[in-house]
Structures are given as C-alpha cells and as structure tokens.
Structure 1
Amino acid sequence: MHIGVVAKRDTSRAVELADRIRGRVDATVTLDELTAEALGTEGRSVSNLAACDLVVSVGGDGTFLFTAREVSPTPIMGVNLGEVGFLNAVSPGDCVAAVRSAVERLRKGEATFHELPQIHTEGEGLELPAAVNEVAIVGPQRGRNNGIGYDIHVDGERYAGGRGDGVLVSTAAGSTAYNLSEGGPLVHPDLSAFVVTEMCPADPMPPLAVPTSAEITVQIEDTANAVIVADGRSRERVDPPTAVRLYPSETPVRIAGPRLDFFAALGKLE
C-alpha cells in the first residue's frame, strides 16, 4: 500500500501533520518534494504521486485543488487546517486515524469514494486543466466599459446574453466559492449540477442550474480579447469572436474518507 502526502506550502503545521502521518501509518508513505525537503528527506513531485493508492492533502481548499489537478483520478483525502475547507472533511486531530481507516478499507477492497464532477473546457487553441470548482470567462478588466459581450447556450438553446464582466460556470463543490461571491446559489454537494452565473450583466438573467450532462457554450463577441480561468489558477487568453464549450470531464475527483458535514461547513461562512 502506497500513500502520498501533499502539505500546504510554507506552513509548519501542515508539515508537522504530514510527518505525523508518515510515522504512524502502516504503509509506504511518500511526501511531496517541498514537504520532504523541510523534513530533511526525499520526496517526489506531486504529479508523480498519482501512482499512489491514496493521496492525502493537508491544508485548505487551495491545496486540495492543486493536488486534485495533479493526481486525479487517484483518491484524495483532505485534511483541513482551519479555513472554510469545503473539500476537506478530516480535522487535524483525526487525520492519522482517518488515513489508517482508509488504508485498511483499501487493503480489504472495501473502499468507497465520493466523486465530484470536473468541468472540461475547450475552444479554438484553448487547453485548460479540468476544473473542480469553476471556470470563469472574463474580459481583461472588470468594471464599466470593460468586460465582454457574450451569448450562453445550454444544449444548443439560448439561455442568456448581452454584456457583462463575464460568465461563471461552477460545480456544486464550487458553488460556495467564486459562484457565491457573484450572487450564485449554494448547491448541495449531492446534487449533480453545474451552475451558470452571469457576472455583473447589463441585462441579467437569474443564475441557472443545469444537469452535469449538459453542454454549455459561451460565444464571446465584441471585445479585443478574453481570459478563461480554471479554479483561479490556470489561465488562457482567447481572441474573440470565439466559442468556448464546457462539459463534464471524463475524470472526476474521487474523495476518500468521511463525508463532509456540509451544513456545519456553511457556518464558517458567517
């Protein structure tokens, strides 16, 4: 049994927990390179940890998203260091027991995983990693006389269009992040849906939840250029007029360990 551990960068508490897991779990444990360096041992790049049976992410949602992008579909367990942590269900005090339990279930062939859909984005000359939380299609700047002109179609039928700062397509997992700040709805993680939210539109439509099986097309017009951003990290510029297609990735994120108490996590937003 081979376990990978990725700890939040430059965070001594995360490094400490990674070391605790390494020393107390009955399995081969490999750390990411930066964490291993902090502990004076050898590690591997995060992408190489995809060969493990399980990868543990120690940090916040940002660390989890980074890990998921590099190792999916390898199962991931998220250990939350105290932020809102909607993707991290394990507390620091429970991390060793949770990893031990997951290892035992894997050995017995009894492991089950909660799968999160990811958003695949494609267009002419456009290539982005799958997004766990959201994809934003925006102008080079936000605000009056900026933004983009757009038309949004769902399975070929027009839903909305006009001009605004941009268009946001989020997963249920991402509904508590950028989507919420743009006025989109909270979506329970058990609901299989993507949410389409216009960003400061001149002529708004309410945000729309669609089945994850739907294909969303955003036609971008009337702007010098636009930026496509996946999970706030991966960015690509495109030259309008152009169409961007968004649909579920073939590879979901597989989450190991206990289920998140969604409503308790919502309390941290207050």
Structure 2
Amino acid sequence: MDVAVGIVAQRDDERAQELAATLIEALECLGEHEQATVSVVVDDASGDAVDAPAVPVASMADRDLVVSIGGDGTLLFVAREIGTTPILGVNLGEVGFLNAVAPADARDIVTDLVAALRETGSLEGRTLSRLEATGDGDWTLEPALNEIVVHGPRRGHGGGVTVETRIGGDCYAASHADGVLVATPTGSTAYNLSEGGPLVHPETDALIVTQMAAAESMPPLVVDPDTELTISVSGADTAYVISDGRNRRRLEPPATVTVSLAPDPVRLVGPEGNFVTSLEKLD
C-alpha cells in the first residue's frame, strides 16, 4: 500500500528542521527501493526550511502517520490538531515522557514503521486518554491530553473563586481556592505535579483531582475515569476553564463544568519510553 506521512518540526528549531529533512530523504529512498509511493508533507511553519510540500498541521489528520520532532509541548500541539492519527514522538526536549525516540534512532525507526505499515496496513501502539470539559449552554472545550483546569479571575492573592468539586454527585471539596485541576495519568507529571498532585504511572486507568491553593484543602484524589466529575464556581465575576494550558473559555459564575473522558484518545506508535527513568530528569 502507499503510505502518507506528515512531519511536524518544533517551531524555529534548526535541529528539528535538519532531522525533518533527513527523514524526508530516508522515506524517499525507501519508496524508491520498495517501488512504492511514500508521500511526505511537513508543517507549514517548516516549509521554507525543508524541501517538501508544506501544509497546516490540522490537514495531516488524514495521514497514515505523523512524526512529531521536538519536546512534549510539540507533541501536545500535534495531538490537538490531528485527533486519532498515529503519532511518533522524537525527543528534542529535556524529559520526553511522550517522545520516546532519540534523534539518532529516528531514521531507522521511522523507516521501519513505514515499511511495516506498507506490509500490514496498520501500526501497533498505545492509546492515551483525553479529557473534555462541557458546561452550561452546551459548549465543549477542545480535548486535553494533560489536564483541564478551572480557576478564578487570576492566580494568587485576591484572584481566587469559591469552588465546589463533586465526585459521583457527592461533595468532595468546597473551598475558596485558586482553582481545581483534573489530570490524566499522562498529565500527572505536568501541571498536576507542580500543584502538589501525585505521580501516576501512564498505564494506570484513572484521573487525578487536585485543588489549587485551597483555603480548606483536601488531599489530591485519584478516581476511576468513568466517575462523574463536576466543578462549580461562584463568588467571583469571572472564572475560566482551560484545556492543556492553551484552549480556554470564560465563565460567568455561578457556573458548573463537567469533566469527562473525550471520545477519541491519542494514538502513539513506536518504542515506549521508560517512565521511571524519565522521572529522574524532573526538577
């Protein structure tokens, strides 16, 4: 079968662009050797630096494989744009929980994956759950791979909000706080950790609820992913719900946000990183 590949290089990163060019050359050689078509496009931000057709990342959703070159932030961006399309992460960052492939190994791993895809028509991998927030007025925020945050007008003194968190309909915590964070296991090492939440192994089927600077705090809580989670805010003129630190919606308290699993998980392919070893790189 013919194979369509997308490559996204970390913005304005010369190393990422050079590696993208190396992968394009390798895939073109593979196609010639196998007498098959391997179609490659790059993200439009890299088009001037890399000799390949350039398209918006969102249009790579119909590709058979997308290679993300950069840190975890680059992969989060790619995942937001392409949905369930298989992603391979090449790590140029410091930790690389999501990007398991070292740059030196990228050429061999990418060509092996494309060859396997040609032979079998599919790729083995793992799925990562995403979260979505919904609320009054039938709105739904863009899915989050790491976390959903509900907070007041701003962080810090004088910027909090009264927050009530319900787990399966029962009140778990009610307090004046900066906000509440609901994380996936993937996101346990990110914002959740900085707010005092627990580390959770990525293969655990769970969600983490962590208060943010609450006046009357409860310990972080790990719950089943199918648990009904509602977060109500009041006592402020404005509040916000934010997905992965990027997509946000303004709330007008009193307001209630429901956080649940999104219907479409992220699909990662290729080698898996060592979670425990990666923890040693955390500050």
- Please state which band the TM-score falls in when normalised by the shorter chain: over 0.9
**How do 1:221-260 and structure 2 match up within 5 A?**
221-260=234-273
The residue type paired with residue 76 of structure 2 is: L
Q: Percent same amino acid among aligned pairs? A: 44
Secondary structure, aligned partner of 1:95? helix
What is the deviation of 1:178?
0.3
Aligned match for 2:44, one of 21, 30, 33: 33
**How do 1:1-270 and structure 2 match up within 5 A?**
1-25=3-27, 26=30, 27-109=38-120, 111-125=123-137, 126-270=139-283
Bigger shift: 168-177 or 206-215? 206-215
What is the deviation of 1:41?
4.3
The residue type paired with residue 60 of structure 1 is: G
Q: With structure 1 as the length reference, what TM-score do the two structures score?
A: 0.97
CA distance in 2 between partners of 1:82 and 1:264 (Å): 15
CA distance in 2 between partners of 1:38 and 1:260 (Å): 29
CA distance in 2 between partners of 1:88 and 1:171 (Å): 17
CA displacement, residues 149-200 of structure 1 (integer Å, 9 cap, x when unaligned) = 0111112121111111000001100000000000000000000111000000
What is the deviation of 1:40?
5.0
CA distance in 2 between partners of 1:149 and 1:77 (Å): 41
What is the deviation of 1:141?
1.4
**Is the Cα–Cα contact under 8 Å of residues 153 and 236 in structure 2 kept in the other structure?**
no
Runs of 4+ in 1 over 6 A off after TM superposition: none
The residue type paired with residue 88 of structure 2 is: M
Secondary structure, aligned partner of 1:66? helix
Bigger shift: 202-211 or 101-110? 101-110
Structure 2 spans left out of the alignment, 5+ residues: 31-37
CA distance in 2 between partners of 1:150 and 1:82 (Å): 35
Structure 1 spans left out of the alignment, 5+ residues: none
**Is the Cα–Cα contact under 8 Å of residues 185 and 201 in structure 2 kept in the other structure?**
yes
**Is the Cα–Cα contact under 8 Å of residues 66 and 87 in structure 2 kept in the other structure?**
yes
Q: With structure 2 as the length reference, what TM-score do the two structures score?
A: 0.92
CA distance in 2 between partners of 1:50 and 1:236 (Å): 25
